[in-house]
Amino acid sequence: MMSEDAGSMLVVYDDPSDQRSLSLDDASSTEESPDETRLSLETTHDAIPYIGQRFATHDAAYEFYSEFAKRSGFSIRRHRTEGKDGVGKGLTRRYFVCHRAGNTPVKTSTESKPQRNRKSSRCGCQAYMRISKTTEFGAPEWRVTGFANHHNHELLEPNQVRFLPAYRTISDVDKNRILMFAKTGISVHQMMRLMELEKCVEPGYLPFTEKDVRNLLQSFRKLDPEEESLDLLRMCRNIKEKDPNFKFDYTLDANNRLENIAWSYASSIQWYDIFGDAVVFDTTHRLTAFDMPLGIWVGINNYGMPCFFGCTLLRDETVRSFSWALKAFLGFMNGKAPQTILTDQNICLKEALSTEMPTTKHAFCIWMIVAKFPSWFNAVLGERYNEWKAEFYRLYNLESVEDFDLGWREMVCSFGLHSNRHMVNLYSSRSLWALPFLRSHFLAGMTSTGQSKSINAFIQRFLSAQTRLAHFVEQVAVAVDFKDQTGEQQTMQQNLQNVCLKTGAPMESHAATILTPFAFSKLQEQLVLAAHYASFPIEDGFLVRHHTKAEGGRKVYWAPQEGIISCSCHQFEFTGILCRHSLRVLSTGNCFQIPDGYLPIRWRRISMPSSKLLQSAPNDHAERVKLLQNMVSSLMTESAKSKERLDIATEHVSILLSRLREQPISLQGGRESQN
């Protein structure tokens, strides 16, 4: 037998921290004894390691213990070795330990190099397997001489253990596929979904995660980020020279390298002035080629279409970076903060918003949360996943906070999710995403499924090509310009459609002349439903309930002289569209027009004021052509509102065309002569 005197052996730790924090006392573990030794080499196929089990190589022993660990709900790592190949008796003993063995010391930060003290998974677990080399039967082999399987932490379920780093692998075939996807510019989330479809696996069941894919792409990054950053700054300065109303801001780090940058276009700033009441700040995407977090500010215009407000690229996702981005955005928008801002569940961003936009209501974007459900719950719930998701949406859309809390508790019990950390986190943050808590805040309908898909599709246009960082600002401009042109076409199509009145009520015909077709359709739905409700005068207002109900209902307060009406359902505050309950009270009170204050400007048939466009448009030929396109679009919008307006517009445009045809065309393609 080999000597047990550790002092006479060379002991090497694969992880130095284990030397300080993990003690494997030989006397405390199961030791080899002649009676317990099994000599059959076939025992490598047994499910559980045992003393005396033999392996041809120490690598074979590691693979066996690793497979056992995976079945049991943990992973392992190499801990320490005794001896060394080529020295004395060579390598004589190896220890394999649970991945949670040892304790990681807290890092001390310095002013020059701050450190992030990340939470460690290590908790001093003593589970291990020890193997020793022996030549007892001639040929050298490895025998299990120590084994302990007592863990001081919970073991993972089979559908969870696969997420441990030791079991997450990307095959060479998958690597090539991912790199090909990256060249097309699609997001990492889209790559994962495509590969799930190709492999016919449920969402969340690939053998790797989005983080693994990002790490892979980072390792293949070949462009010089410093040079690319300089090109990006040059690009922004060039745009600024051509268009003084283009806004951008940036910071440099201690090494004079680009750290953060944000920008916005003149048209975006103008639209924000009208439609910046509710904003989505999407920070869930990254520029895959440079692993840079990307933030995009988006809103909804009066025709229900996405409009771009601004863009930022950040070095990291810290409170400091997000605070800088929010300050830059407010600077672009003349200090005007939105009423409501929707974001992802990012704690650093939440903290930055509370400081930089203290008067803005912060909420979590529901579609960003739901996008994570497959990876969070699909494996946990299995066949009941769709049933659970339907119940989640039912609770999400409730009106009463009390009903939500009661329903949530019942759902957790029904699906056995008491200890699920995602469910715990969702419930603790419910006031930031569940509609019962948000209905008194204006969200412009951006929580609806249709609007979320529209905004997502809009954002994806920015990610369509990411070959050069310097060109990204141009790509965004192209996407915004394309969206503006598409929006103009959709606006004209909406306005040219004949509005079909369904109730014949004076309020309906009045609203049809003021609201955009998109907003009017929402109001019309409520007007139709209002006919199914009854209103009853009460001490300080009206009680409105469905004609089939004997109890319940909504309380409506109406002061005709002040032009004020409000409902306990808070739909107007939430969407800017009056609810069926308020409309029923107005109708009962012989009100033939909706009070002006309840036909918000943001939902009216308005176009960008020509004065603003004239002030911002430079003398460049292309810009003047674009200005003319905007004016023609406004002309079409206003003309389509009535037959009289259409007749006037047709007459004057005919005269204008005749005058234009009389003008000579410059030899310089329409540009003014420089002579």
| The total number of residues written for the chain in this structure | 675
- Span 119-146, mean pLDDT? 85
| Cα→Cα distances 591→60, 537, 557, 560, Å | 85, 16, 15, 9
User: Which segments within 258-406 are labelled E, that is strand?
Assistant: 258-264, 278-287, 292-300, 306-313, 340-343, 361-364
Tell me what pLDDT residue 7 has.
40
Tell me what pLDDT residue 530 has.
95
- Span 328-342, mean pLDDT? 96
* C-alpha–C-alpha distance, residues 344 and 365, integer Å: 6
* pLDDT tens digit sequence for 163-209: 788 888 888 888 888 877 876 667 788 888 889 988 888 887 888 88
Which has the higher per-residue pLDDT, 227 or 535?
535
Which has the higher per-residue pLDDT, 2 or 517?
517
Check whether 557 has a pLDDT greater than 90: yes
Q: Residues with Cβ < 8 Å from 674, sequence gap 6 or more? A: none
Q: Are 439 and 447 in contact (CB under 8 A)?
A: no
* pLDDT tens digit sequence for 441-483: 999 988 887 777 788 777 776 665 444 566 677 667 766 765 5
DSSP string, 49-95: --TT-EESSHHHHHHHHHHHHHHHT--EEEEEEESBTTBTT---EEE
82 HSE (CA, 13 A, CB side):
17
C-alpha of 602 from chain center? 26
Tell me what pLDDT residue 333 has.
96
- Residue 40 pLDDT grade (very low, low, confident, very high; cuts 50, 70, 90): very low
Tell me what pLDDT residue 247 has.
93
- Residue 106 pLDDT grade (very low, low, confident, very high; cuts 50, 70, 90): low
Tell me what pLDDT residue 130 has.
94
- Residue 125 pLDDT grade (very low, low, confident, very high; cuts 50, 70, 90): very high
Tell me what pLDDT residue 215 has.
79
* pLDDT tens digit sequence for 233-280: 888 888 888 888 899 999 988 888 888 999 998 889 999 999 999 999
Check whether 673 has a pLDDT greater than 50: no
Check whether 381 has a pLDDT greater than 70: yes
Tell me what pLDDT residue 485 has.
57
Check whether 309 has a pLDDT greater than 70: yes
Tell me what pLDDT residue 318 has.
94
- Span 85-112, mean pLDDT? 75
DSSP structural state of residue 545? E
| Helices 266-275/472-496 angle, 10° precision | 50
- Span 563-590, mean pLDDT? 94
Tell me what pLDDT residue 674 has.
37
Tell me what pLDDT residue 41 has.
37
Check whether 159 has a pLDDT greater than 80: no
Structure tokens at 648: 């006037």
- Give me the sheet containing 278-287, strands edge to edge: 247-252, 258-264, 306-313, 292-300, 278-287, 340-343, 361-364
* pLDDT tens digit sequence for 395-426: 999 999 999 999 999 999 999 999 999 999 99
Check whether 672 has a pLDDT greater than 70: no
Ordered alpha helix ranges (H), 243-365: 266-275, 319-332, 347-356
- Residue 26 pLDDT grade (very low, low, confident, very high; cuts 50, 70, 90): very low
C-alpha of 387 from chain center? 24
Check whether 599 has a pLDDT greater than 60: yes
Check whether 500 has a pLDDT greater than 50: yes
- Span 342-370, mean pLDDT? 95
* C-alpha–C-alpha distance, residues 583 and 52, integer Å: 83
Check whether 25 has a pLDDT greater than 50: no
- Span 94-114, mean pLDDT? 73
Tell me what pLDDT residue 353 has.
97
Which has the higher per-residue pLDDT, 390 or 607?
390
The amino acid at residue 8 is S
- Residue 386 pLDDT grade (very low, low, confident, very high; cuts 50, 70, 90): very high
- Residue 607 pLDDT grade (very low, low, confident, very high; cuts 50, 70, 90): low
The mean of the pLDDT values for the chain is: 81
Percent of the chain with pLDDT over 90: 41
* Weakest-pLDDT range from 199-213, 316-330, 357-371, 509-523: 199-213
DSSP string, 604-660: BS----HHHHHHH--S-HHHHHHHHHHHHHHHHHHHTT-HHHHHHHHHHHHHHHHHH
